[in-house]
Structure 1
Amino acid sequence: MQYGKPSPEGYLLTAKRLNVPTHQCLVIEDSPHGVDAAKKAGMYVMALLTSYERQEELQAADKIIHNLEELLCVTTNEQVLF
């Protein structure tokens, strides 16, 4: 890779190597640059709120979660996330 976040290059390369359309990818991020990179790649982004970031810095994410337990609840739900 030539560029790091907030470039979407890493996410686009990963989706290509996995042969998965970007709109079917779920990204878990905890930084504003990571959220921006994944959104630029056209992916669904869940932002994990940590003590390092404030919620307003992660507003570009599709969903904000406060802990990994929330992630487990969302991903084990039988409904489609996106």
Structure 2
Amino acid sequence: MKARIVVTLKTGVLDPQGKAIEAALKSFGIEDVSGVRQGKVFDLEIGSEDRAAAEAMLKAACDKLLANTVVENYTIEIV
């Protein structure tokens, strides 16, 4: 089973890296962009075939390591 976890900053949290990316894009002539927000993507292979157990394990991984839940949200997609 494969999973994808997407971690993004919560709304209202300042994103200086996103602002830097936006400025860099504009410096390369890509002008029609705004509100750039950066995040992280984790692709994982899971040995378990139990979907509920996999979701619980991935939630624990996000809460303990992959996301700072004070300032970040995450989504889990199992494919």
Bin the TM-score by the shorter chain: under 0.3
Structure 1 or 2, whichever has the larger Rg, is 2
- Calculate the TM-score normalised by the size of structure 1: 0.27
Q: Which has the higher helix share?
A: 1
Q: Which has the higher strand share?
A: 2
- Calculate the TM-score normalised by the size of structure 2: 0.28
